[in-house]
Amino acid sequence: MSARALIQVKEVHDDGTIVQMVVWALPEPVPPCLHRYKYRLFYGTAGACRIRYDNERGKGDHRHLGEMEAPYDFTTLERLLADFQHDVEHWSAP
């Protein structure tokens, strides 16, 4: 199996905010993750990140809320998308 794009969406809202979701199914996990997804979920503006969920080699699953970064406990793709959507809907600067 080769990498396969599952979600590639970008919405630019009237107020200038951007929601972008990119999710790939991978043949192997990105260490230290145990799941086979590579993802980047972004909410912000062209000049500022408000919320970002992503995973990267060596760092694993994590999320950014404003300037704060914290580990994210990935369980399922559906839960990831729901958690991101919840954070976007309830955004307020920390």
pLDDT tens readout for residues 21-57: 999 999 999 999 999 999 999 999 988 999 999 999 9
Q: Is residue 94 part of a domain?
A: no
Sheet of 68-71, strands arranged across: 4-12, 18-25, 37-45, 48-56, 60-65, 68-71
Q: Is residue 22 part of a domain?
A: yes
Q: Is residue 59 part of a domain?
A: yes
Q: Which structural domain range is residue 56 located in? A: 4-89
68: pLDDT confidence band, cut at 50, 70 and 90? very high
The whole-number average pLDDT for the span 2-10 is 95
70: pLDDT confidence band, cut at 50, 70 and 90? very high
94: pLDDT confidence band, cut at 50, 70 and 90? low
CA-CA distances (angstroms) from residue 51 to 1, 31, 81? 31, 23, 13
Averaged pLDDT of the chain: 94
Total number of domains constituting the chain: 1
Q: Is residue 25 part of a domain?
A: yes
Q: Is residue 81 part of a domain?
A: yes
